[in-house]
């Protein structure tokens, strides 16, 4: 049974993630109005926000420790927040700053935080194989760490995912695959690209348990993920979970969603997993005042990390040549290639961990 403490933690992570995305909308649009220019403003490039996906990140990651690995796709913020990624440095990364998680080299789709074993790939399904590898390392070293790969329902048609299921299954690796089904892959509805409505059925062909959670319900995710993570930790192999979530915003910022029926947009907004969890908390005796308090704390934290990030310096142009290699070849500086300076001293980055 889920404890009230865990419910509160999930709620706090979910409201943090929701508010974070809503605030990033404002920040992203700076310099992009009235004419939208993707390369203008303090946050340039693509931005995929995860409002409506929170229950999956929170309900899964609450079972994880820092030494467990998570890989996330192009829509990673809610997962990163739930995994405990340094939110200050993550935000600085999104703003392209020197003290960002990746020193400004990765951006929002490519967040890496070794302290909590978190990594991303912006290529569909390509976070799956590295998660399998993390699980392989855990098994070889006889630790009880696990790995979780998050992906969208659009990714379940990709070879990298299907091959990973098989490799994980045949080696009984401690890995959990979590498919976030928001019904859409950019403009393509699920039924246009797969004949299987329940993505968890993919597990059948690989002889592993497959669980579908139909309800965008943090408690239900909590239960299913708890079982899957325990199964992995106990050395009993992988599990595939598909969670129904909702895309409350466009695929990326600037997406006018002309392809999406109005009714579908409305429906996504009505099914709010955060509201649902608040109800659960109330039924466990948590008062509205306490919920307000959690929300305020989350909002303050989000404001704090955003202001911190915006004060951070931009990377110096010369830093572009660093970090191509951990051990840069000695002659690289003279051949027009990556800089050969001594491996960079990470220095003080001043995040919140």
Partner 1 sequence: MATESRDYTEATETDRELTMSRAMVEAIAWEMRENEEVFYMGEDVADYGGIFSSTTGLLDEFGRDRVMDVPISETAYLGAAVGAAQAGMRPIAELMFVDFFGVAMDQIYNNMAKNTYMSGGSFSVPMVLTTAVGGTYNDAGQHSQTLYGTFAHLPGMKVVVPSTAYDAKGLMHSAIRDDDPVVYMFHKRLMGLGWMPSPPGPKTGVPKEDYTIPFGEADVKRPGDDVTVVTLGLHVHRAMEAAEQLDDDGIDAEVIDLRTLVPLDTETVLDSVRKTGKLLVVDEDYQSFGVTGEIVARAAEGALDDLSAVKRLAIPDVPIPYARSLEDEVNPGTDDIAAAVRELHE
State the residues that interact with ligand TPP by CB under 6 A: 74-75, 122-124, 152-155, 182, 184-186, 251
Other CB atoms within 10 A of residue 349 CB: 16
User: For the window 118-157, what string marks contact with Mg ion as x by the rule CB under 5 A?
Assistant: ----------------------------------xxx---
* Out of 44, 133, 209, 226, the residue judged to bind partner 1 by CB under 8 A: 44
Strands 184-185 and 188-189: antiparallel
For 213, list phi and psi in degrees, rounded to 5: -110, 110
Q: Does 337 bind partner 1 (CB under 8 A)?
A: yes
How far apart CA 33 and CA 31 sit, in angstroms, is 6
CA pair distance 161, 172, nearest whole angstrom: 16
Instruction: State the minimum distance, in angstroms, from the CB of residue 152 to Mg ion.
Output: 4
> Which residues, 262 to 321, sit near partner 1 by CB under 8 A?
314-321
By CB under 5 A, the residues from 169 to 208 that bind Mg ion are 182, 185
Out of 31, 159, 235, 343, which residue is the one contacting partner 1 (CB under 8 A)?
159
Whole-angstrom distance, CA of residue 197 vs CA of residue 211: 13
Does the footprint of partner 1 cover residue 37 (CB under 8 A)?
Answer: yes
279 binds, among partner 1, ligand TPP, Mg ion, none (CB under 5 to 8 A by kind): none
CB 41 within 8 A of CB 30: yes
* Residue that is written with structure tokens 């420790």 in the block: 65
Q: How does DSSP assign 112-165, residue by residue?
A: -BGGGTEEE-SSTTTTHHHHHHHHHHHHHTT----EEEEEEGGGGGSHHHHHHH
Q: Is 154 in the site for partner 1 (CB under 8 A)?
A: yes
**Rule CB under 8 A: which residues touch partner 1?**
35-39, 44-46, 93, 96-97, 100, 102, 104-107, 109-110, 121-126, 154-155, 157-160, 185-188, 192-194, 254, 258-259, 314-321, 324, 335-338
């Amino acid at each position: 049974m889920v404890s009230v403490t865990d419910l509160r933690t999930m709620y706090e992570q979910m409201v943090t993630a929701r508010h974070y995305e809503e605030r990033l909308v404002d920040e992203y649009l700076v310099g992009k109005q009235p004419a939208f220019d993707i390369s203008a403003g303090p946050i340039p490039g693509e931005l995929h926000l995860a409002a409506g996906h929170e229950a999956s990140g929170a309900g899964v990651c609450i079972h994880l420790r820092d030494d467990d690995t998570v890989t996330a796709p192009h829509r990673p913020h809610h997962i990163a927040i739930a995994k405990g990624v340094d939110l200050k440095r993550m935000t600085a990364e999104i703003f392209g700053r020197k003290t960002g998680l990746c020193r400004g080299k990765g951006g929002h789709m490519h967040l890496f935080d070794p302290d909590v074993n978190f990594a991303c790939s912006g290529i569909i399904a390509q976070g799956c194989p590295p998660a399998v590898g993390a699980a392989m390392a855990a098994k070889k070293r006889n630790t009880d760490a696990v790995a979780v790969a998050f992906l969208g329902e659009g990714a379940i048609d990709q070879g990298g995912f299907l091959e990973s299921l098989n490799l994980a299954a045949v080696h009984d690796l401690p890995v959990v695959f979590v498919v976030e089904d928001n019904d859409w892959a950019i403009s393509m509805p699920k039924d246009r690209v797969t004949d299987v409505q329940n993505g968890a059925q993919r597990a059948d062909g690989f002889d592993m348990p497959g669980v579908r959670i139909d309800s965008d319900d943090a408690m239900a995710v909590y239960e299913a993920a708890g079982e899957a993570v325990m199964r992995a930790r106990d050395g009993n192999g992988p599990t595939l979970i598909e969670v129904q979530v909702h895309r409350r915003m466009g695929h990326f910022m600037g997406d006018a969603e002309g392809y999406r029926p109005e009714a579908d947009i409305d429906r996504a907004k009505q099914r709010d997993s955060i509201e649902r969890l608040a109800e659960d908390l109330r039924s466990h005796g948590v008062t509205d005042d306490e919920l307000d308090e959690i929300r305020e704390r989350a909002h303050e934290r989000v404001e704090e990390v955003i202001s911190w990030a915006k004060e951070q310096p931009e990377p110096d142009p010369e830093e572009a040549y660093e970090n191509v290699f951990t051990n840069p070849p000695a002659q690289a500086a003279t051949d027009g290639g990556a800089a050969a300076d001594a491996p960079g001293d990470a220095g003080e980055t001043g995040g919140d961990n």
